[in-house]
Every structure is written in C-alpha cells, then in structure tokens.
C-alpha cells in the first residue's frame, strides 16, 4: 500500500464541552495519512489516475469548519468518514490535535485508523 500524507491542516471549529469552547471556535491541527495504490498514476504520470488529495483536503476542511463536536474522537471519526466514504480511500489515519488543551503541553489529541468496514453496519462509528 502506498501512503499519501497531508500534514498540518490548521483549522478552526467548535470543539469541546466548556461554554467558551461552544461559543468560540478553537484551533485544531489535523494530519492525514491515506492508503492508496499509486501504481497506475506512477506508470501513466497522469493526474486522472491518482487519488485526488486536493479534493479530499477541501472536503475535510469543509467538514471540520462546519462541525460542532464535543470530542476530538468525534471530529477525527468525521474526518475519517469523509476520506473513506466520501473520497474512496481504502484506509485512513487521522491525527487531530488541539493546541493549548492541556497546560504545559503543546497540544492534546488522538490518532485513529479507519477502513470502509468501520463505517458499515451496526458498529458504524458516528
């Protein structure tokens, strides 16, 4: 499996439980790793054969900026759903960090990995 990496998407969204977090947008930093097969694009050197990471980034940005999650877990799952279900990625790793969430730490966050199987049936993480 080949990996596409998108690092350091710096976005703002409503995330957290406290009143000020619900009222004011917070900074989040998102890193994406997406599994793909780059063989066709490598052989043809044709953009049409590549996984469209620009369109995927735009979809992630739109999802995050419109979101109002209480937890980074929920936000990361929403991002993974965009990549896997909305953009056809066979596998995605999503890292969401919230700068300044913990005193004396640069950030706090979560890393999760998802495949299409994680979004089918009763066990679908919403």
Catalytic residues: 98
Looking only at Cα atoms, what is the longest distance across the chain? 53
């Amino acid at each position: 499996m080949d990996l596409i990496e998108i690092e350091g998407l710096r976005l703002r969204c409503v995330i957290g439980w406290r009143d000020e977090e619900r009222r004011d947008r917070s900074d989040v930093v998102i890193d994406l790793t997406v599994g793909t097969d780059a063989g066709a694009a490598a052989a043809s050197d044709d953009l049409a054969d590549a996984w469209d990471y620009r369109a995927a980034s735009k979809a992630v940005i739109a999802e995050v900026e419109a979101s109002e999650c209480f937890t980074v877990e929920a936000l990361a799952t929403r991002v993974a759903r965009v990549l896997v279900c909305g953009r056809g990625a066979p596998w995605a790793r999503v890292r969401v960090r919230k700068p300044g969430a913990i005193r004396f730490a640069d950030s706090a966050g979560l890393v999760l990995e998802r495949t299409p199987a994680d979004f089918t049936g009763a066990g679908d993480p919403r």
